[in-house]
């Protein structure tokens, strides 16, 4: 089934791109077909259809992080389907309108504006990439529409204001996790860093990793950079090789990391690569081949977790989409369930009421960990470290805050 995933994802991406070309896309999800098309209600309020609560999602359904957006969309869709099967919220069905941002911040901002001003959604879910979520957050905060990002880990995302939340941990913790793992588990003393200078996610992780690894007694012997979309990293990797590192931290996305792994082996670098949750995609194995084996990355969940709640989610997801869910799917599922629980608790569907209800989230039982939101609207939770081996991931350890 995992072999089929890339073809399936490519087909879904094409379908998503086709849907994006429509000027008035129909909302998806159970009971969503009759939702309002930009009628009546003020931003953050209920849609004109009194029997439906319309939510919005902005995701990278095409472009460089397409598998992230598709996995997230699937997780959200599954959660809303379950909520509607259980009776919906406040006697209403839930529907969601999804827009593709093409993995671009400017498109993400435009899509968020469309959800707010045209579709009048009660709440926005998305995106995965921090740069895209930052662009969306400005629009949502200014309009007073609550937004939950499932998996944007850059700290500045929720700094945009009190309407912006996340259900994932943040980069300072994720950078700490891999620095601690490199020093204590891999026993590394000298590492190099290869970062994406156009990605807030990559820069943030690299900064924290460097600081924490150094504080723990390690030394960063080289720092090189690239830009998203580059295809030749040999010059940077050759420079890194000269510094003789024992490992290389590459906090980028799977689309570049897989190629970097191949080219690292080509220039003679045999040391392990390390990264963050941006590696989590079936495409990583396809792009990296055997060169990515023996590498490690921090993540939000592991399919190997025997918890019955996690295993039920995996079984339901496989039944619906024919693949084992990755962490992005798990976080999309958790974000939608946190949103549904908040809508149920809120005294009404106004932006302030929904915002206050989300902020009260505590000990929420997610499949990617228990979610409690702190005063800065960030989830406080543990992380796992996974090893890439023979085209799949293996659980290694859990590191707590």
What pLDDT is attached to residue 10? 40
Q: What is the pLDDT of residues 195-242, one digit of tens each?
A: 999 888 899 899 999 999 999 999 999 999 999 889 999 999 999 999
Cis peptide before 289 (omega within 30 of 0): no
3-state secondary structure of 108: helix
What pLDDT is attached to residue 153? 86
What pLDDT is attached to residue 61? 92
Q: What is the pLDDT of residues 165-184, one digit of tens each?
A: 999 988 889 999 999 999 99
Q: How far is 317 from 303, CA to CA, in rounded Å? A: 12
What pLDDT is attached to residue 48? 52
Torsion of CA 268, 271, 273, 274, to 10 degrees: -160
Q: How far is 275 from 218, CA to CA, in rounded Å? A: 17
Residues with pLDDT less than 50, the chain = 1-46
Angle 240-243-249 from CA coordinates, rounded to 5°: 50
Q: How far is 186 from 197, CA to CA, in rounded Å? A: 27
Q: Which of 286, 277, 379 is nearest to 329 (CA)?
A: 277
Q: What is the pLDDT of residues 361-393, one digit of tens each?
A: 999 999 999 999 999 999 998 899 999 999 989
Q: How far is 157 from 65, CA to CA, in rounded Å? A: 18
Query: Which segments within 162-236 are labelled E, that is strand?
Result: 164-166, 190-196, 219-226
3-state secondary structure of 263: helix
The reported pTM is 0.75
Q: How far is 115 from 222, CA to CA, in rounded Å? A: 44
Q: Cα 223 from chain centroid?
A: 26
């Amino acid at each position: 089934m995992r072999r089929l995933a890339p073809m399936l994802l490519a087909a879904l991406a094409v379908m998503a791109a086709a849907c994006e070309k429509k000027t008035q896309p129909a909302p998806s999800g159970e009971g969503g077909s009759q939702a309002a098309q930009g009628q009546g209600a003020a931003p953050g309020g209920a849609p004109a259809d009194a029997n439906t609560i319309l939510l919005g999602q902005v995701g990278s359904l095409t472009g460089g992080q397409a598998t992230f957006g598709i996995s997230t969309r699937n997780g959200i869709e599954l959660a809303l389907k379950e909520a509607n099967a259980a009776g919906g919220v406040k006697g209403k069905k839930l529907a969601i309108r999804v827009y593709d941002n093409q993995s671009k911040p400017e498109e993400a901002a435009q899509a968020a504006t469309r959800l707010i001003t045209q579709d009048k959604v009660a709440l926005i879910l998305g995106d995965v990439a921090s740069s895209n979520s930052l662009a969306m957050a400005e629009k949502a905060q200014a309009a007073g529409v609550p937004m939950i990002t499932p998996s944007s880990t850059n700290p500045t995302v929720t700094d945009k204001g009190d309407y912006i939340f996340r259900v994932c941990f943040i980069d300072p913790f994720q950078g700490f996790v891999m620095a601690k793992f490199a020093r204590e588990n891999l026993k590394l003393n000298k590492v190099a860093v290869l970062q994406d200078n156009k990605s807030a996610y990559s820069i943030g992780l690299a900064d924290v990793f460097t600081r924490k690894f150094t504080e723990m007694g390690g030394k960063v012997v080289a720092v090189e950079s690239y830009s998203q979309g580059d295809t030749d990293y040999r010059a940077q990797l050759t420079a890194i090789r000269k510094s003789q590192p024992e490992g290389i931290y590459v906090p980028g996305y799977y689309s570049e990391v897989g190629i970097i792994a191949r080219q690292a082996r080509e220039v003679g670098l045999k040391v392990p690569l390390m990264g963050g949750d941006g590696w989590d995609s079936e495409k990583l194995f396809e792009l990296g081949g055997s060169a990515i084996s023996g590498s490690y990355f921090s993540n939000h969940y592991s399919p190997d977790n025997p918890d019955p709640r996690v295993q039920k989610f995996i079984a339901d997801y496989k039944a619906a989409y024919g693949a084992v869910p990755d962490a992005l799917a798990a976080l999309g599922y958790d974000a939608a369930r946190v949103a549904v629980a908040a809508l149920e608790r809120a005294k009404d569907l106004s932006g302030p009421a929904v915002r206050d209800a989300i902020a009260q989230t505590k000990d929420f039982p997610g499949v990617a960990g228990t979610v409690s939101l702190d005063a800065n609207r960030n989830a406080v939770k543990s992380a796992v470290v996974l090893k890439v081996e023979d085209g799949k991931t293996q659980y290694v350890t859990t590191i707590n805050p």
